Amino acid sequence: MLLHANSNSRVPLKYHLIFWFVYFSFNVVRWGSFFDDYWYSLKSNAVEFPLHLFSSYFTIYYLFPKFILTKKYFLFFFFLLLTIVVVYLGVIGFNWWLVTKNIWPEANGIKQPFTLSHFTAVAVGEVYVIAFVSVIKMTLDWLYEKRKNDRLTKIQLQTELDFLKSQIQPHFYFNTLNSLYALTLEKSDLAPNLVLKLSDIMQYVLYDVRSSQIKLIDEIAYIQNYIDLERIRFGERVLATSYISGDIEEISVPPLLFLPFIENCFKHGTQGNHNIELSIHFKNIENKTLQFSVVNTYQEAEEPSETKGGIGMKNVQRRLDILFQDRYKLKITQKKSKFKVQLSIPISQTCNSTASS
């Protein structure tokens, strides 16, 4: 296993061997065809091949990290030139000793070594090899870093989603338990029913919503349980109606996505002693978009605002941003004693979302 980056990533040795085998074979065939002498091409490439390995790996694994990453560019080019000089001397020496005394057979005219023309020809060829290998390494490094950053981003988003959801889960328990306490003091017959509703909701929140997606019909049932709890608290002051348009049987959504809007209705709509009228609508549009809307009444003098203990709309919008990026639409309007929320999310993206909530 060989390192291909300044990280814990590794490229298996077999891929290095495959690359250099293909490179070596290509050069043997190319120069064998040029000289019409494949035996000579095989020998000359065989003696020069270790020099290519040396210059390439020395540059990408030592010179780059040592000098380029530390912005010591002059030293990098100095040692790169020194490396090429060493390779040049090796090319001449090994070829002279093991292959042929004709050091530069492909040249026309003067074919003597240790001339500027010969050094330039060898140097350009070596720079080509080093550049080619460096581009491959930088591409692999970029791909590795991209995958790592994607994983870190996913973990960060997952952590934030879990935190945002955790703010929702226990939020209404305090009010519900306070209501239960009041009912038990009054020895009300409503207390057992409240306990059962609360138990159902706790089971849903603690166990059913651990997955990233949940059936919309289950989410609606959970919302209905929440409304029933609020009815127990506020009695006949709550007038809630629900509408469903289109087929929702196969639709999945992130859990606890709509509850904050319903909770917001009760938080502001029940201030004072007036009644609250609540209208909830889920609409499936051509199996492409799920539209959710909720309208509640409130006293005009009581501006909807974030109160102590509330999770707030910022929490909701942040979850929507993480889950759907720019693929959702959220519109909140306030007019004539009515507060209206309209949310559209893509059904296909919701069902197949890779983000987890």
Q: Are residues 110 and 143 in the same domain?
A: yes
Residue range(s) defining the domain that contains residue 80: 2-153
Answer yes or no: do 142 and 189 share one domain: no
In this predicted structure, what is the pLDDT of residue 212? 77
CB 134 within 8 A of CB 59: yes
146 with 210, same domain? no
pLDDT of 125-146, one tens digit each?
889 889 999 998 888 888 888 8
pTM of the model: 0.56
Cα distance between residue 58 and residue 52, in whole Å: 10
The CA distances from residue 182 to 31, 194, 208, 248, in Å, are 94, 12, 29, 38
Which one, of 58, 53, 61, lies nearest residue 79 by Cα? 58
Q: Are residues 208 and 247 in the same domain?
A: yes
Number of domains in the chain: 2
pLDDT at 304 over 80: no
- Residue 132, in any domain of the structure: yes
pLDDT tens digits along 277-295: 889 999 998 888 999 999 9
β partners of residue 2: 11
In tens, the pLDDT along 325-344 reads 889 999 999 887 888 999 99
CA distance 218 to 248: 11
Which residue has better confidence, 350 or 318?
Answer: 318
pLDDT at 299 exceeding the cut of 70:
no
User: Can you say whether residue 286 is alpha, beta or left, with left for phi > 0 and alpha for psi between -120 and 50 degrees?
Assistant: left
Any idea what the CATH number is for the domain that residue 269 is in?
3.30.565.10
Residue-wise pLDDT tens digits, 28-72: 888 777 777 788 778 888 888 888 899 999 999 999 999 988 889
Domain end marker among 153, 177, 206: 153
Residues 166-191: pLDDT tens digits? 665 565 677 677 777 777 887 777 77
**285 and 145: one domain?**
no
Q: Is residue 33 part of a domain?
A: yes
Helix axes of 191-206 and 216-234: crossing angle, nearest 10 degrees = 150
For the cut 70, the answer to whether the pLDDT of residue 215 exceeds it is yes
Residue 356 domain-assigned? no
Whether residue 185 is found in the same domain as residue 148: no
User: 262: closest CA among 299, 232, 305, 292?
Assistant: 292
* Beta carbons of 179 and 233 less than 8 angstroms apart: yes
On whether both 237 and 327 belong to a single domain, the answer is: yes
Structural domain contains residue 101:
yes
pLDDT digits (tens, 9 = 90+) for 62-95: 999 999 888 899 999 999 999 999 988 888 888 7
Residues 227 and 301 in one domain: yes
pLDDT at 354 over 60: no
